[in-house]
Amino acid sequence: MLRDELPLISVIVPFFNEEDGLVRLHERLNAVLLALPVRSEILYVDDGSTDDGRRIVEQLRSQDPRIALLCLSRNFGKEIAMTAGLDHAAGDAVVIIDADLQDPPELIPQLLEKWREGYDVVYATRMEREGETWLKKASASAFYRVIHHAANFDIPRDTGDFRLLSRRAVDALKRLPEQHRFMKGLFAWIGFRQIGVPYHREPRHAGATKWNYWKLWNFALEGITSFTTAPLRLASYLGGVIALLAFAYGLWIVIDTLVHGNQVPGYPSLMAVVLFLGGIQLIFIGILGEYLGRMFDESKRRPLYLVADYHPSSQSLSDKA
Ligand code: UDP
Ligand code: MG
């Protein structure tokens, strides 16, 4: 194997309908990468875009052999697109960055510096959030708090997917086969030496976010259910408390009937108890269902994604030779 002295850095850019930002992103990425004493490849992962993004990357690629293009067969979502990128990246270190220029490429040298110091996961930590609504900030903060308490390890707060991974961290991630990929959790789960680098997150450069609150809610659910079974335990505790209360109430009714005789049919209290318990039961059947559904998905053992086209960069070709 013939390798240059310089390390190879792979930059993974998952994109879904980002045609307006890609060229600008590429310019900024290139300006940063070419100034560094590294070899680099930029791996664009087309997550089933329906716009012109793919053609734009193909055009960029015809001028620059350091570009690789991986096209998934349909839209699989960002988590899977990142996974596909990690599977195809050849670098000694891998950087994951959003296509909408919310993650400044100019931070990459700092990430690299930490990697050179021996860190395996160098994540970028947002200092403040601009151009995001109050509700989004509040819900994000609540989510981090829940996951922090529920999971048995720490997921760093205020981090996105913008980060650098060492080769061994990437190889570790590739060994995690789960279908439900909550990447932020997986990044933290692998361990190794991790460190944060603060940065200023910009508003979107072009286009619109594909996240709505419904998607975010499901994302949060994914994060919680793939890393902790605490909600299942919650069901037993809550059930226990309610059963205890119901027992006390029943006792009171018996005593009341013994002392005062049976005066009332008791329809309202009966209805209240039945409805309340019915609701509680439905909630926890739902929680059980969440976990069962995940087991169902895992047991199918489907591939995580399908590749429609792969055009590697010249770097990864020469590395494999
Ligand atoms: N993305 C993707 N597949 C999707 C949705 C989004 O690859 O199904 C990409 C998107 O193009 C962008 C990144 O993931 O590069 C982050 O998406 P977005 O900006 O919508 O999320 P936010 O910044 O609001 O978290
Ligand atoms: Mg964004």
Task: Say whether both 160 and 266 belong to one domain.
Answer: no
Query: Mutate which of 18, 100, 181, 205 to test ligand 1's pocket (most atoms within 8 Å of Cβ)?
Result: 100
Task: Say whether both 197 and 239 belong to one domain.
Answer: no
Task: Say whether both 171 and 269 belong to one domain.
Answer: no
Per-residue pLDDT, 321: 44
Considering only CA atoms, which of 95, 55, 91 is closest in space to residue 71? 55
Task: Say whether both 54 and 161 belong to one domain.
Answer: yes
Q: Total structural domains in the chain?
A: 2
161 lines ligand 1 (CB under 6 A): no
Task: Say whether both 293 and 260 belong to one domain.
Answer: yes
CA of 209 to the centre of ligand 1 (A): 7
Task: Say whether both 272 and 150 belong to one domain.
Answer: no
CATH number of the domain that residue 17 is part of: 3.90.550.10
CA of 281 to the centre of ligand 2 (A): 38
Query: Mutate which of 101, 204, 210 to test ligand 1's pocket (most atoms within 8 Å of Cβ)?
Result: 210
CA of 64 to the centre of ligand 1 (A): 24
Phi, psi (rounded to 5 degrees) for 202: -90, 160
Sheet holding 121-129, edge to edge: 194-201, 121-129, 159-166, 93-96, 8-15, 39-46, 67-72, 307-311
Task: Say whether both 151 and 272 belong to one domain.
Answer: no
- The secondary structure of 264-287 as a DSSP string is ---HHHHHHHHHHHHHHHHHHHHH
Per-residue pLDDT, 297: 77
Task: Say whether both 123 and 209 belong to one domain.
Answer: yes
Task: Say whether both 33 and 176 belong to one domain.
Answer: yes
Task: Say whether both 239 and 121 belong to one domain.
Answer: no
Whether the full predicted model's pTM is greater than 0.85, yes or no, is no
User: Using CA atoms, how far apart are residues 43 and 243, in angstroms rounded to an integer?
Assistant: 56
Per-residue pLDDT, 317: 61
Task: Say whether both 243 and 123 belong to one domain.
Answer: no
Q: Which domain holds residue 212?
A: 3-227+304-320
Tokens of 244: 């205890």
Task: Say whether both 140 and 79 belong to one domain.
Answer: yes
Ranges under pLDDT 70 in the chain: 1-4, 129-132, 152, 205-206, 210, 262-265, 267-268, 271-272, 316-321
- Nearest ligand 1 atom to alpha carbon 98: 15
User: Using CA atoms, how far apart are residues 138 and 160, in angstroms rounded to an integer?
Assistant: 16
19 lines ligand 1 (CB under 6 A): no
Per-residue pLDDT, 131: 63
